[in-house]
Amino acid sequence: MSRFRLSRRALLRGSGSVALALPFLEIMQGRGTAHAAGATAPLRYLITFAGLALATDHTTSPYILPTALGPDYLSNLKASPAGATSPNVHALAPLVERSLGGDVTFVSNLHLPRATGPANWNTAWHPPTMRPLLCGKSSTPDIVAVDSPTSDTLAAWLLGGGTAFPHLALRAQPQKYRFSEPKPEVGIAGGRLSADKNGPIEPFVDPGQVYDQLFGAAPKNPADGDLSNREERAVVDLVLERANSLRARLGNADQKRLDQHLAELREFERRLMALGSTPTCSPGAKPTATFPADLTEKSGWSNETLRAQLMNDLVYLAFKCDLSRAGSLMYTYASSYTAVSDILGRKVTGDMHELTHSAGDADTGSDLAKVWQWHIGNFAYLLDKLKGTLDVDGTSLLHNSMIVFVHEAGFGTEPGATEALNDNFGAHSGNNMIAMLAGAAGGNFKPRGHVNAGKSHPASALVSAMRAVGVQGPLGEINDGLAQLG
Amino acid sequence: MRRLARKWFARSLPGVVCLALAAAVGCNAASSPRPGQGQDSGGAPAGAAGSPPTVPGLASALTSPRGLGFVGMRRLSKDEYRRSLSQLLGTPAPAALSTLPEDILTPYDNDFGAQVMSPVLIAGLSDVAREATAAALADATSRAALVPCTPTGPSDTACFRSFVERFGRLALHRPLNQAEVARLLALQSFSVERGEFYNGVALAMRALLQDIEFVYRVEVGAAVESGLVRLTPFELASRLAFTLLGAAPDSALLDAAAQGALDDEAGVRAAASRLLGDPQAAERIGRFHGLWLNYENADVPPALKASMRAESDALVTRLLFTERRPYGDLFTSEEAFVDANLAPIYGLPVPSAPSWVKQLDPNRRGLLGQAGFLAGGAKFGDTSPVLRGLQIRARLMCQSIPPPPPTVNADQPPKGDPTECKSARYKRHAENPCASCHALLDPVGNGLERYGADGRYREVENGRPDCPIEGRGALTDLGVTFEGPAGLAQALLPSGQIERCVMKQLTQFVAGRQLSGADEAFVESLTTAFASEQHRVPDLLLDLVASPAFRHRVIEEPQL
């Protein structure tokens, strides 16, 4: 089976109306080594997310979940039946195609409890699972957003010191296409995967902007020496200096707002000063894809396939060049209204959210499996790049990483709930959720194939993952990792 | 069969969600507290704290320097930032604006309590400044406007200084002091180093476009008493411009501030009158209505949305600003502003160019009859009488409607017998625990049911000729029945609820924060002033901006 490598031609073919400059990042180049050998390799931690339920209303997931437990869980995957609307697929096929089964621990049968117990969800959809899943704290009708440290920011605090981006928050889906939530801020909460002690962290959504932040925005002319860099710093210094002089004249509440702005501005300046200090790591050319300029137009599709690849590439580069060691990458919003036609390869009315509520041909399982395959394909693409790059200790970047995949909702009935409630929620279930933990955290974590979690809380999988990279302590109200993961 | 039924539901049936608003939460139409119920935020009487006398007849909270309540430092909304940038540079908005985080709508885009800082914001501001500066200096015309002098060389300090003083004044909305000028002049060293005068100019521009005083609305003021400041003339100019135009003050307004013309009420009125003649004033009020009544975010194809928005804005501009008609006319107008996209929806001939035509449907009148407003109440591809009822009561009437309880999923397509008419399913809402709230919401939406998800008139349910639409609605708490948008407006206008609600919404928009009971006195005084001005919006805006409440600022949390 050939290993995936994106060619320029393939990229252009898939880019649709997107304009691209060539060449483009390293996805079109061969694999490289991360650094010169000899040093101890740092650990990295990333959490990724799919805003999708594992099944449609009143169904199970035959083409998404593996049937076998243990290390050979990817064998004998049964594709959706011939004649289904989408081509025959199994959602996990990308892991097979890239030979990642031995690197990915697939945890099934996780249960995010409703209304009782630690880190439960107890509010109207969407997105009630974000806070309990990612912060380990219960959601309520008033609090659904991530608002306290998530596993990735805890990891960043431990691992990220000295890097340009101690924490890197990215999202491939650039905007919320539709708001069905009672309050807009609830819908926006579905687009934030990370939080620290100051609250939710707004992710970057523009790949070109992320590139600039990692590698510098100013045009580089070798004849300039450090002139460009001094100019950039002069601008930021002046903004900071003037803001500081204003501060003393403000009331306390305004000072607090200004302080938050200043803190971000100082981080910005710190990154600016660090630019150019990684001369051994060549990032390749900046992605110059031009996406729909007006993000207020709710088309339902902003070429998320390309965006997800670019964001994966940027995470890869940030890890490879040691510009960041921890972060998060949302492929789609919770309650994602991303259109699915481009993913399915045919015109379909509806989107990812409605797909889980039995629009389209979801009952066959084939369409939902295809959309799941799209998410897992993005995840696998990143893993493959990390696996194919040598780290400074002679192992792979993936070996020294903990890359986690979680999602919004499971399927099935809620134990103990009334029939009416279960019927109401359908795909909106905290039951039967999954998590994937990829990498070995420098040997601290042993991949175990498919593991049945026995209805443990999904945040406990995150505790296992963050413990593997050295983060001690609980994740909110969740104290322990999964016993099945050792 | 079950699969087919589900598909049919998802594609064809309206968004009849069992919005089971539990009786337990008490679903009575809760209007805002009446005058006197809320805590009076007014402190000093009119004329206190050195405030000038104001016109007779204005209610007390408007004449109180503390009347508007606290106003925090707030970041410009994306719309305000875009307008300010274009006005300052005279060039189109840069593409990098799209990288700035989206504003959080509550429902307005300027709520400083909802604003969060992020690396994305800082990077976006830097990118916007870099791109906008480069574009402005690359264009000979705009460059000449920004730097009127001709530099003799990279070290031409006089020319650099004149640029800094002029551009800095416009960017920070006040003259720069000598220390500030000197600090910016230091950037000219980069002009010399590169041998290019405009290099230092670009750096100064970039710094000013990211300056806190450009990115935020900063009001320090002059202390009057504990927790209260009077805005400086330049701060007042800035507040005037952002309130009325949604953009930074122009040079003429800064001149007025410098000359003391804003020091008294007459001067403020004169300056504000000029601003109200700017097309941006009507656009600002149009945007306010779009955010308030939620048609800013209608989920329709972009071209149709643009047509809908153009019609709504045209109505606001023509009635409220050009013809200066009473506010209620916004809901009773008989004319539509149609183009090729809207004419088929209204059953009107397609015009050769967008134009005003009389609506033929007597039940389609005003803003509520426009396709843009009606499209805001769509869900799952059809109308949602519940959602429309909610929008009317929560937005247009400012009533407090609780959300559905956690046990109810309002985000799922309707279930039930697919052969059943939608109206029959809705009638069952009266038989379940959700009845108390649905009794308030459903009848309002039912009165608009003959207008489909895109506003098109219909007499039967979508694809169901066997399901006629009655189209009769009721405002049960007011004891009135109605048919269609015109009937709804006729039922609501005599109650005065729309006028009072719009004043409440305007207060929130101007203050840039969520309101509390402490703001009720101000809303009431604004409502009284609105009536005194025969409900003419420009006149009300003049009363507002000329008032002592507008010219002062209550500090949210003073320094100890």
Chain B residues in contact with A209 (beta carbon < 8 A): 96, 99, 120, 123-124, 127
Query: What's the pLDDT score for residue A78?
Result: 77
* pLDDT class of B63 with cuts at 50, 70, 90: very high
Helix (H) or strand (E) holding B8: helix B2-12
pLDDT range class, residue A201, cuts 50, 70, 90: very high
Which pLDDT value is given to residue B47?
34
The whole-number average pLDDT for the span A280-292 is 70
Residue A189 has a pLDDT of: 85
- pLDDT tens, A303-345? 899 999 999 999 999 999 999 999 999 999 998 889 888 898 8
> Smallest CA–CA separation between A47 and chain B, in Å?
19
pLDDT confidence of residue B45 = 34
Query: Looking at the predicted structure, is the pLDDT value of residue B161 above 90?
Result: yes
What does the buried/exposed string (b/e) look like for B240-263 if buried means 16 or more CB atoms within 10 Å of the residue's CB?
Answer: bbbbbbbbbbbeebbebbeeebbe
| Gap from B76 CA to chain A (nearest CA, Å) | 14
Minimal CA–CA distance to A261: which of A278, A243, A245?
A243
| pLDDT at residue number B560 | 53
The stretches of B361-434 forming alpha helices (DSSP H) are: 371-375, 385-390, 422-427
Q: Are strands A326-330 and A168-171 parallel, antiparallel or unpaired?
A: parallel
The confidence band for B2, taking pLDDT boundaries of 50, 70 and 90, is: very low
pLDDT at B437: 82
| Mean pLDDT (whole number) for A225-237 | 90
For residue A78, how far is the Cα from the chain centroid?
Answer: 27
A156, two tokens? 């960043």
Between A241, A253, A354, which is nearest B10 by CB?
A: A354
Cα–Cα distance, B218 to B226 (Å, whole number): 19
Determine whether the interchain pair A251/B555 forms a contact, defined as Cβ–Cβ distance below 8 Å.
yes
Is A346 at the interface with chain B, CB within 8 A?
A: no
Chain A CB contacts of B408 under 8 Å are: 124, 424
Residue-wise pLDDT for B43-61, tens only, equals: 333 333 333 334 444 558 9
Q: Do residue B10 and residue A358 have CB atoms under 8 angstroms apart?
A: yes
**Residue B409 or residue A3, greater confidence:** B409
**Cβ separation A264–B117 shorter than 8 A:** yes
Task: Note the pLDDT tens digit of each residue in B510-540.
Answer: 999 999 999 999 999 999 999 999 999 999 9
Distances (CA, A) of B451 to B197, B420, B421: 62, 20, 17
Closest Cα in chain A, distance from residue B266 (Å): 30
C-alpha to C-alpha distance for B506 and B510, rounded to whole angstroms: 6
Mean pLDDT over residues B291-306, rounded? 84
Q: Closest Cα to residue A171, out of A359, A371, A338?
A: A338
Of the candidates B102, B377, B312, B453, the one whose C-alpha atom is nearest the C-alpha of residue A298 is B102
From CA A316, how far away is CA A311, in angstroms rounded?
A: 8
State whether A205 and B407 contact (CB < 8 Å). no
Interface with B, mutate which of A215, A357, A423 (most B CBs under 10 A): A357
Q: What is chain B's alpha carbon radius of gyration, rounded to the nearest angstrom?
A: 26
Residue B99 CA to residue B101 CA, distance in Å, equals 6
A203 touches chain B (CB under 8 A): yes
> Given pLDDT bands bounded at 50, 70 and 90, which one contains residue A56?
confident
- For B53, left (φ over 0), alpha (ψ -120 to 50), or beta? beta
CB contact under 8 A, B118 and A201: yes
Q: Find out whether B137 and B162 touch, Cβ atoms under 8 Å.
A: no
Give the minimum alpha-carbon distance from A344 to chain B in angstroms, rounded to a whole number: 17
Q: What is the pLDDT of residue A86?
A: 58
B406 vs A217: CB contact, 8 Å cut-off? no
A185 lies within 8 A of chain B by CB? yes
Cβ–Cβ under 8 Å, residues B439 and B19: no
pLDDT at B554: 95
Q: Which residues contact A466 (CB under 8 A, 6 or more apart)?
A: A45, A151, A154, A155, A402, A475
For residue B217, pLDDT beyond 80: yes
Please judge whether A209 and B124 are an interchain contact, meaning their C-beta atoms are less than 8 angstroms apart.
yes
Which residue among A235, A249, A357 places its CB closest to the CB of B10?
A: A357
Q: Is the pLDDT of residue B294 over 80?
A: yes
Partner-chain contact A184 B106, CB within 8 Å:
yes
**What is the predicted ipTM?**
0.86
Predicted pLDDT at B418: 75
Q: How far is CA B157 from the centre of its chain?
A: 44
List the single residue in B11, B73, B184 with the smallest CB-CB distance to A359.
B11
Res A297 pLDDT > 80: no
Residues 6+ apart with CB under 8 A from A477: A118, A119, A136, A137, A138
Which of these ranges, A205-219, B156-170, B454-468, has the smallest mean pLDDT? A205-219
Mean pLDDT of A2-17: 32
Rg (CA), chain A: 22
pLDDT of residue A10: 32
In angstroms, the Cα distances linking A423 to A114, A122, B3, B8 are 15, 16, 15, 18
- Across the range A271-291, mean pLDDT stands at 70
Bond prior to A207 in cis (omega within 30° of 0): no
Is 50 exceeded by the pLDDT of residue A16? Answer: no
What pLDDT, on a 0 to 100 scale, did the predictor assign at position A58?
73
Question: Above 80 in pLDDT, residue A211?
Answer: yes
Type of residue numbered B548: P
Evaluate if residue A294 carries a pLDDT over 70.
no
- CB proximity A253 to B under 8 Å: yes
Task: State residue B314's pLDDT score.
Answer: 98
Please, what is the average pLDDT of chain A? 83
The reply to whether A349 touches chain B by the CB within 8 Å rule is: yes
Give the pLDDT confidence score for residue B7 in this predicted structure: 33
As a whole number, mean pLDDT of residues B250-274 equals 97
Residue B427 or residue B443, greater confidence: B443
Interchain CB distance below 8 Å, B299 and A185: no
Amino acid A235: pLDDT: 97
Report the SS3 class of residue B405: coil
Nearest to B106 by CA among B97, B116, B96: B116
Record the tokens describing residue A444, joined without a space: 């601290």
Question: According to the model, what pLDDT value does residue B409 have?
Answer: 62
Chain B residues within 8 A of A216 when measuring between CB atoms: none
Which range has the worst mean pLDDT, A268-272, A425-429, B235-239, B394-398?
A425-429
CA distance A325 to chain B (A): 17
pLDDT score of A19 more than 50: no
In this prediction, residue B109 carries a pLDDT of: 93
pLDDT at B296 over 90: no
Q: What's the pTM value of the predicted model, to 2 decimals?
A: 0.84
How far is Cα B294 from Cα B391, in angstroms, rounded to an integer?
8
Mean pLDDT of B207-223: 97
CA distance B505 to B507: 5
Look up tokens 């050769």; give the residue.
Answer: B352
Verify whether the Cβ–Cβ distance A293 to B98 is below 8 Å: yes
Instruction: Using pLDDT thresholds of 50, 70 and 90, give the confidence band for residue A292.
Output: low
Q: Which of A141, A188, A201 faces B403 most closely, judged by CB atoms?
A: A141
Q: What's the whole-number average pLDDT of chain B?
A: 87
Q: Which two tokens stand for residue B482?
A: 């109605």
- The whole-number pLDDT of residue B20 equals 35
Nearest residue of A to residue B18, measured between CA atoms: A424
Q: Is the pLDDT of residue B324 over 90?
A: yes
Instruction: Return the pLDDT at A24.
Output: 39
Whether pLDDT at B379 is above 80 = no
What residues contact residue A476 under an 8 Å CB cut-off, 6+ apart?
A118, A119, A132, A135, A136, A137, A148, A459
pLDDT tens column, A405-453: 999 999 887 766 666 666 666 777 888 999 999 999 999 999 999 999 9
pLDDT at B95 over 90: no
Q: Do A209 and B218 touch (CB under 8 A)?
A: no
A178 contacts B556? CB cut-off 8 A: no
**pLDDT (mean) for A41-65:** 89
Please give the structure tokens belonging to residue B459.
């007499």
Is residue A220 pLDDT above 50, yes or no?
yes
A213-222, A351-360, B14-23, B80-89: segment of lowest average pLDDT: B14-23
Higher pLDDT pick, A59 / A213: A213
Percent of residues, chain B, with pLDDT higher than 70: 86
* Residue of B12, B412, B513 to mutate when probing chain A, most A C-beta within 10 A: B412
- The answer to whether the CB atoms of A204 and B123 lie below 8 A apart is yes
Mean pLDDT of A53-82: 83
Instruction: Place A23 in a pLDDT band, splitting at 50, 70 and 90.
Output: very low
User: What pLDDT score does A27 carry?
Assistant: 37
B404 near B19, Cβ under 8 Å? yes
Amino acid found at B423: S
How many contiguous H segments (helices) and E segments (strands) does chain A have?
Answer: 14, 9
| Conformational region of residue A443, where left means phi above 0, alpha means psi within -120 to 50, and beta covers everything else | left
Q: Calculate how close chain A gets to B143, using CA atoms only, in Å.
A: 20
Q: Is A235 on the interface with B (CB under 8 A)?
A: yes
In this prediction, residue A486 carries a pLDDT of 82
Contact A414/A421 with Cβ under 8 angstroms?
yes
Residues of B in contact with A217 (CB under 8 A): 126-127, 130
A69 touches B: beta carbon within 8 Å: no
Task: Compute the average pLDDT of residues A6-28.
Answer: 34
Cβ distance of B6 and A254 shorter than 8 Å: no
Cα nearest neighbour of A214 on chain B:
B123
| % residues pLDDT > 90 (chain B) | 71
Question: Residue B149: is it exposed, middle or buried by C-beta count within 10 angstroms (0-12/13-18/19+)?
Answer: middle
